Amino acid sequence: MTFRALTLALALCCASATSADTPSILVQSTTSTANSGLYDNLLPRFTEATGIAVNVVAVGTGQAIRNAQNCDADVLLVHAKSAEEAFVAAGYGVSRQDLMYNDFVIVGPADDPAGVAGLTDAGAALSRIAEAEALFASRGDDSGTHKKERALWEGTGADPDAASGDWYRETGSGMGATLNAAVGMGAYTLTDRATWLSFGNKGDVAVLVEHDPALFNQYGVILVSPDRCPDVKEEDGMAFIDWLTGRDGQSAIAEFTIDGTQVFFPNAPE
């Protein structure tokens, strides 16, 4: 069995049963879009409109990109724009389109030992956390969230790598597991807002830092190149991308809420 076939089999085991003759595509995507429940809202609408089933593999952005480079995807939907553009430039993707955005937030314990509550400067907040040597849980998994976190540390003057295993704890896990670790340790962490809102084990951890433009979180969607990967289902993959970036998909994204709060904001070019 090829790795693509194995990946698809794993996706199918977690997806709704479909008949053998139902067309389907494989999407490599992020944990944030899956864990938030967004796909539960979008995919049935797309399948009803087109008859195409969508099987999603939800991993960190870095792993999703590597999987797509190995031809284990028809479509890539992630949130690390520079890495996405590099994926296309290297010939692995046909083109990249903006799809939607939300934001990241820094959450932390109610006693806030670093005194960051209310800051709107994420870099300043991280500097205070480092100065206080307050526990910080990092995903450490090359995900889009991890890439953003590492970018935010740059320019702070702090060296989190030097504190690895001390106050800087790398979980090597997805967002949900990292949030659980942060709650358990009383640590700060960076999370996308959608995952935070859908997270059920908040304990006394709360959003402390938000509304910094640097916390903007853009998602993009890319058709994997059929020239590089001959098994790509180009027509069905483009049907999915066209639906997501068209009126119906953009409306469905805007309508999705968690506890009445909109968490993704469509911004595909018209």
Locus of tokens 């790795």: 3
pLDDT tens digits for 205-228? Answer: 999 999 999 999 999 999 999 999
CATH number of 103-215: 3.40.190.10
pLDDT of residue 175 exceeding 60 = yes
| In the predicted structure, residue 201 carries a pLDDT above the cut 80 | yes
Res 35: pLDDT:
87
pLDDT band at 20 (very low <50, low <70, confident <90, very high): low
Question: Looking at 18-22, 24-28, 140-144, 236-240, which range is the least confident one?
Answer: 18-22
Average pLDDT over residues 96-115: 97
Which pLDDT belongs to residue 14? 44
- Global pTM reads 0.88
Burial class (CB in 10 A: 0-12, 13-18, 19+), 83: middle
pLDDT higher than 80, residue 11: no
User: Where do the structural domains in the chain lie, given as residue ranges?
Assistant: 3-101+218-266, 103-215
List the end-to-end C-alpha distance of the chain, in Å, as a whole number.
41
Average pLDDT of the chain is: 92
Comparing 143 with 11, which gets the higher pLDDT?
A: 143
Residue range 3-101+218-266, CATH number: 3.40.190.10
pLDDT at 229 over 70: yes
What is the tens place of the pLDDT at every residue in 118-162?
999 999 999 999 999 999 999 999 999 999 999 999 989 999 999
